[in-house]
């Protein structure tokens, strides 16, 4: 039997909880909002009150449920918005549609969930913001990454199929894609402009960052004096080729209308066709994705998507993103061979009394015969300010 007073307290508690939920769900779009009950009730709620509910009828555990109220007012890390979108390419987008934690104590960011989880292993310690930052930076420096998995992001993404093929290789996300068996594929194709068409790189077989139409310099041909260069002609031919492949869409629709199954009709469409999916990933694996796909070696189109994702999550986990940039994105990773070469170079410079500027290259050769590895080392030396 429950006492009347207890019922009254529970009733007030649920009214307050429903108020919190209502405010969360109905917060209008705009800036960050503090979610509290009416009259800022959260500020008068005693710290961590616990309500014990008796076992629920129909429940299978047979146990009471303890319910805690938050210690402080909560804020929505997405500012009450249901969706934040950045447009990518001609028809694509990355939209952030949800985050976990979605509600965090006022004055905090979602970084807080990382600290909360890490303290299970390191103890409560102090809770100063500066020390929370220090803890997150320590975790990233020492690759203690499981606390980062406590933060999750859900995206809605639209991208061409050739990008989706690269993206799907990241196996640690949860994916649900538009079904071309169930629905007709929309008439949306990626078509870069003539100016965006890239030349095949001579040094990187997978890449091409230089434009075919580069206003002359190395581009093979903006052409001077009103002449159309070969690069321009080739880039235009490529874009025309894409337009021809898009024309297949009318045939696809016609064949679907005549009874060919959608699952078969679609196989004649080009990989420039847009698809879309929901993609959910934890922060640890998102950072791995961003490290690989924001990198200059990734295909330019997917780099654009990765940068958009970065911009969407950075305000939500600013401390972690800053640490990741300091320790991973902006870092230079050296192999043992490179460390040996670096040591040799420093030793040679010291032997010359530090006056060996511009003469260190001969001491920096990498042990081993691999030409590509040697070139990569020289690129790292340049990044470190050691060479031309």
Ligand X SMILES: Cc1cc2nc3c(=O)[nH]c(=O)nc-3n(C[C@H](O)[C@H](O)[C@H](O)COP(=O)(O)OP(=O)(O)OC[C@H]3O[C@@H](n4cnc5c(N)ncnc54)[C@H](O)[C@@H]3O)c2cc1C
Question: Between 26 and 203, whose beta carbon lies closer to ligand X?
Answer: 203
The tally of CA atoms less than 13 A away on the side-chain side of residue 305 is: 26
- Which two three-digit tokens encode residue 243? 């337009």
One residue of 169, 258, 333, 372 binding ligand X per CB under 6 A: 169
Span 95-134, contacts to ligand X by CB under 6 A: none
The DSSP element (H or E) to which 21 belongs, if any, is helix 4-26
368: left (phi over 0), alpha (psi -120 to 50) or beta: left
Q: Let me know if 336 is a catalytic residue.
A: no
- Partner residues linked to 176 by β-bridges: 278
d(CA 107, CA 79): 13
Q: Please report how close the Cβ of residue 234 comes to ligand X at its closest, in angstroms.
A: 25
Question: Between 174 and 370, whose beta carbon lies closer to ligand X?
Answer: 174
Question: Between 167 and 249, whose beta carbon lies closer to ligand X?
Answer: 167
- Stretch binding ligand X (CB under 6 A), from 23-31, 256-264, 291-299, 369-377: 291-299
Site string for ligand X, 198-227 (x = CB under 6 A): --------x---------------------
Question: Between 47 and 296, whose beta carbon lies closer to ligand X?
Answer: 296
- Stretch binding ligand X (CB under 6 A), from 169-177, 235-243, 267-275, 312-320: 169-177
**Which residue pairs from 304-308 have beta carbons closer than 8 angstroms and sit at least 24 positions apart in sequence?**
304/88, 304/89, 305/88, 305/92, 305/94, 305/157, 305/159, 305/163, 305/167, 308/86, 308/88, 308/93, 308/94
Q: Please report how close the Cβ of residue 209 comes to ligand X at its closest, in angstroms.
A: 12
Q: Please report how close the Cβ of residue 303 comes to ligand X at its closest, in angstroms.
A: 10
Which of 236, 288, 311, 306 is closest to 89 using CA atoms?
306
Residue 87 near ligand X by CB under 6 A: no
Residue 288 near ligand X by CB under 6 A: yes
Collapsing DSSP to helix, strand or coil, 35 comes out as strand
Rg (CA), the chain: 28
Binding site residues, ligand X, CB under 6 A:
169-172, 206, 285, 288, 292, 297-298
Residues annotated as catalytic are 293
């Amino acid at each position: 039997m429950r006492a009347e007073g207890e019922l009254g307290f529970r009733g007030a508690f649920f009214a307050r909880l429903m108020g919190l939920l209502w405010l969360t769900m109905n917060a209008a779009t705009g800036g960050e909002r503090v979610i509290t009950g009416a009259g800022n009730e959260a500020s008068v709620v005693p710290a961590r009150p616990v309500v014990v509910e008796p076992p629920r009828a129909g429940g299978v555990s047979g146990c009471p449920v303890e319910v805690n109220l938050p210690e402080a007012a909560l804020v929505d890390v997405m500012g009450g918005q249901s969706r934040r979108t950045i447009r990518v390419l001609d028809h694509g987008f990355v939209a952030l549609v949800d985050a976990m934690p979605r509600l965090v104590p006022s004055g905090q960011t979602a970084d807080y969930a990382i600290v909360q989880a890490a303290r299970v292993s390191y103890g409560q310690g102090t809770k100063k913001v500066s020390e929370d930052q220090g803890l997150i930076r320590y975790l990233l420096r020492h690759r203690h990454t499981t606390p980062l998995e406590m933060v999750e992001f859900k995206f809605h993404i639209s991208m061409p199929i050739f990008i989706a093929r690269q993206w799907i290789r990241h196996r640690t996300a949860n994916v649900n894609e538009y079904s071309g068996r169930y629905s007709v594929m929309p008439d949306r194709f990626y078509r870069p402009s003539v100016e965006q068409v890239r030349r095949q790189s001579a040094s990187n077989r997978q890449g091409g960052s230089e434009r075919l139409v580069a206003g002359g310099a190395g581009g093979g041909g903006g052409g001077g004096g009103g002449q159309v260069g070969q690069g321009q002609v080739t880039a235009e031919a490529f874009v025309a080729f894409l337009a021809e492949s898009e024309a297949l869409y009318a045939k696809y629709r016609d064949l679907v209308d005549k009874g060919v199954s959608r699952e078969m009709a679609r196989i004649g469409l080009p990989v420039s066709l847009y698809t879309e999916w929901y993609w959910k990933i934890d922060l640890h694996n998102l950072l791995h994705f961003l490290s690989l796909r924001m990198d200059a070696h990734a295909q330019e189109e997917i780099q654009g998507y990765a940068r958009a994702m970065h911009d969407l999550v950075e305000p939500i986990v600013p401390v972690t993103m800053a640490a990741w940039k300091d320790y991973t994105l902006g870092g230079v990773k050296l192999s043992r061979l490179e460390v040996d070469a670096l040591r040799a170079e420093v030793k040679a410079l010291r032997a010359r009394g530090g006056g060996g500027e511009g003469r260190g290259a001969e001491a920096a050769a990498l042990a081993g015969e691999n030409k590509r590895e040697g070139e990569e080392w020289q690129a790292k030396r340049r990044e470190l300010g050691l060479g031309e």
